[in-house]
Structure 1
Amino acid sequence: MNYPAICREAFALVDDIGNGAFNNEFSESGTLATTVEVAMPVLAIFRQLNPDDPNSIADGQSRLSAIASAEQGVFSRYSALRTAEQ
């Protein structure tokens, strides 16, 4: 797990969503819905993640995987996040 890379991409994902990067490109959800469905859950995962605790990492990867599988189009731009969820 490349913790620095996935943290950078998590913040980039949130910033991109806030800037409307995914409006109508992968869904018709719009910024607010994508924020609620993707950005907020991703931030919650990283807020609770302890990179020194294997159980925390496993839980974070499981939760990230669930979000990524539901939002494959959004996650397609972030290779480190996709790798982290596998």
Structure 2
Amino acid sequence: MFPVVLHDDKATQMSVVAYALAEVCRIAPEEAVRLMLLVHNEGKAEVACYTSADEAERVVAQMHFHGIDATVAVTQ
């Protein structure tokens, strides 16, 4: 599995993060807001998990396009 982690950067508006989560990860707006607040309050959070490394990297690239700091977490 390839988890996508968002990192709080204090620069990107929270509304942009929620919008990007809803659009890129194709989740409900309410869930996107919940995840955005988790990232904001915890400093980072796993927001999605994919079975393909390519899909996870595609999501990370789209988050970067929106100015959001995201990575694919290393799992064992």
TM-score computed with the length of structure 2 as normaliser: 0.42
**Counting strand residues as a fraction of each chain, which structure ranks higher?**
2
TM-score computed with the length of structure 1 as normaliser: 0.39
**Counting helix residues as a fraction of each chain, which structure ranks higher?**
1
